[in-house]
Amino acid sequence: MTLAIFDLDNTLIAGDSDYLWGQYLVDQGIVNRGEYETANARFYEDYKQGQLDIREFLNFALQPLAQHDPEQLYAWRSEFVRTKIEPILLPAARRLIEEHRSIGDTLMIITATNRFVTEPIARLYGIEHLIATTPEFKEGRYTGHYEGIPCFQEGKVTRLDEWLNQHERSLEGSWFYSDSHNDLPLLGLVCHPVAVDPDDILSQHANQQGWPLLSLRHGTCPDQHLEQVRRVRL
């Protein structure tokens, strides 16, 4: 089956779940507002500029998981998804996902944002396969560290290669939808790269390469793109 791969933040949702989770922790008084908000904003700007030190960021972002019982964390996460994520789900993204599903494609989300935050979001879209940065969990608690390779930039390629080998699959006919120039390593490998509401760097690169540009922020997924998805499979 053909893989239809989706980035998550600012692609399938109208915002960045990692950043929004940090803001939720600030708003609830779970972390120190001044210190955490300043650092969260700095890391997010570094990400947009393509200068994020992913290991430094993960050491920062995963610490709150180590400071609280999982039961409490899951309760906070449920409220976060309900109040911060559900309002920014995109009907056009859902239509695009369902088009790929209807023609038998295997659906996958691949994201740098950690699995604790993203797993329930993938479920909201009915996407079974999720490759995400993995928080370490030992003896019934999160440790504040991560396992394996962060799923970021070239790390997405490495993590996807591991999945492909494990499942005896290939990238033949594959699609990848992303908004970010941080995903150029993977966009350059798939058969059908698509820039979705792209940042300036990705938009310029997509135009140079002749890649499709797509917006899911307004209305529904364009019929022209859905027809292209169907036509490729004929």
Q: Which of 3, 25, 47, 39 lies closest to 177, judged by CA?
A: 3
Question: Is 197 an active-site residue?
Answer: no
How many CA atoms does the CB half-sphere of 95 hold within 13 Å?
A: 16
Q: Which of 74, 47, 71, 77 lies closest to 60, judged by CA?
A: 47
Report the residue count for the chain: 234
Q: Which listed residue (7, 18, 105, 199) is catalytic?
A: 7
Q: Which of 3, 184, 218 lies closest to 109, judged by CA?
A: 3
Q: How far is CA 47 from CA 7, 13, 44, 198, in A?
A: 14, 17, 5, 14
SS3 for 97? helix
Question: Is 200 an active-site residue?
Answer: no
14 touches 215 (CB < 8 A): no
Helix (H) or strand (E) holding 122: helix 115-124
What's the first-to-final CA gap in the chain, in angstroms?
14
State how far the Cα of 120 lies from the Cα of 109, in Å rounded to an integer.
12
Catalytic residue list = 7, 9
